[in-house]
Structure 1
Amino acid sequence: MTRSSFPTAVKVVLGESAVASLAASGAVLLEWPVWAMFIGWISYFTRGVTARHGLVNLACVAGGMAVGVLAAMAMAELSPLLGTLTTGAVVFAVATAVLPMRHVPVFNNLLGFFLGLVGWFAAHQPPSMEAWLTLAGSAALGATAAWFASRLHHHIAATAPHRHGSAAA
C-alpha cells in the first residue's frame, strides 16, 4: 500500500465498518438475529457486486431458507417413522432438490441456497412463515447493507486523489 493510498484505505474501512455497525444495530432494533443479517451481507458478495447480482443472491438465500422450512417439517413428520435415519433421509432429499439448481438460469447460486439452509437450521426455530420472514428480512437487511458498503467503497475509491509519477511526496 502506498503512502497516498493509505488515507483512502482507511476511509474505506471506516465507511464499511460504519455501514456494518448500522446494519447490526438495525437488526437489534427490529429484534432480528444479527448473525442472519451477516448471512445476507456474505451472500451479496458470493457472485458479482451489482444490485442485480445481490438480489439474485438474496433470492437464493431466501429459497434455501424456504427449503429449510420444508426440511424441518419433513423431519417432524418422518421422525416417528424413521427415527435416527430421518436426518440422513431428509438431507438426501434436500440435496437432490437443491444441487440441480446449479443448472437453473439466473437462480443457480448454490452457495446462496446452502447459506439459507444453514441459516434456517442455525436459528433452531419451529417451521413457520413468521420465522422465515424474520430470517429472510434479516438477510435482506444484510444484503442491502453490503450493497451500500460496496457503493461507498467505489465512491471513496473513485473520488480519491490519484498521484502519478514518483512515490516521494
Structure 2
Amino acid sequence: MTTAPVSRRAYTLVTVTAALTAAFAAAGALHAGWPVWTMFIGWIAFFTRGLTTRSSVENLACVWLGLALGALAALAIATLAPVLGVPLAVPLVVLVVALAVVSLRGLPVLNNLLGYFLGLVAWFAAHLEPSLAHLAELAGASALGSLAGWVSHHVPRRLIARH
C-alpha cells in the first residue's frame, strides 16, 4: 500500500482489496484455531520493508527466527528463574536476546530488526508454553498474514496496470 497520489478508482481498489484480504485471512486464522491478531504479525512484517516477493520471504523468516528466539528465551527464563529469581533472570535473558537480535541487523540478508522483534512480541504475547507445535502455530499464522499482506499489495497493482 502506497501513500503516493493515486486516482480515486485505484485508491478504492486498494482499500477494498486490503479489507477483503484481511477478512479472508481472519477467517482462515479462525478456521485454523489461531487468534486473528497472530495473523496480523505477518501482515505487519510484510510491510516493514521491500514489498517484493523476495523481501516478504526474508521478512517472514525474520519473524520466524524471532519466534524461535522467543521460545528459547522463555525456556531460559524458566530455567534461570528458580536459581536467580525472576527479577534477575528476565533482564539477563532479555539482554542476551537483545544483543543477538540487534547484532543480526548487520547481516546481508535476514537483517530485518522489526521482523525479529515482531516474532519476539508475538511469542510473548501469545503466552504459550515453548514447544514445536506452538512455534508451528505462530509460524503458520504469521505466514498467512504475510501472504495476505502480499496479496493486498500486489493484486491491486496488477489490476491497475491492466487498465
Please report the TM-score for the alignment, with normalisation by the length of structure 1.
Answer: 0.89
Partner of 1:49: 51
Measure the CA separation in 2 of the matches of 1:24 and 1:5: 28
8 Å CA contact 1:16, 1:152 repeated in 2: no
Partner of 1:96: 99
Partner of 1:87: 90
Measure the CA separation in 1 of the matches of 2:91 and 2:113: 20
1:85-106 per-position Cα deviation (integer Å, ceiling 9, x unaligned): 1111110010111111011111
Measure the CA separation in 2 of the matches of 1:63 and 1:125: 16
Aligned residues with identical type, % of pairs: 48
Q: 1:10 Cα deviation (Å)?
A: 1.3
Partner of 1:145: 148
What amino acid maps onto 1:25 in structure 2?
A: A
What amino acid maps onto 1:20 in structure 2?
A: A
What amino acid maps onto 1:146 in structure 2?
A: G
Partner of 1:107: 110
Moved more, 28-37 or 112-121: 28-37
Task: Determine helix, strand or coil for the equivalent of 2:156.
Answer: helix
Q: 1:156 Cα deviation (Å)?
A: 3.2
Please report the TM-score for the alignment, with normalisation by the length of structure 2.
Answer: 0.93
Measure the CA separation in 2 of the matches of 1:72 and 1:96: 16
1:118 is aligned to 2:107: no
Aligned residues: 157
Task: Determine helix, strand or coil for the equivalent of 1:106.
Answer: coil
Matched ranges for 1:18-57 at <5 A: 18-57=20-59
Partner of 1:167: none
Note the residue ranges of structure 1 that are not aligned, 5 or more in a row. Answer: 161-169
Measure the CA separation in 2 of the matches of 1:33 and 1:139: 11
Q: Considering only aligned residues, what root-mean-square deviation do their CA atoms show, in Å?
A: 1.2
Measure the CA separation in 1 of the matches of 2:55 and 2:35: 24
Larger Rg, first or second structure (1 or 2):
1
What amino acid maps onto 1:148 in structure 2?
A: V
What amino acid maps onto 1:16 in structure 2?
A: A
1:157 is aligned to 2:160: yes
Q: 1:11 Cα deviation (Å)?
A: 2.0
Partner of 2:3: none
Q: 1:153 Cα deviation (Å)?
A: 2.1
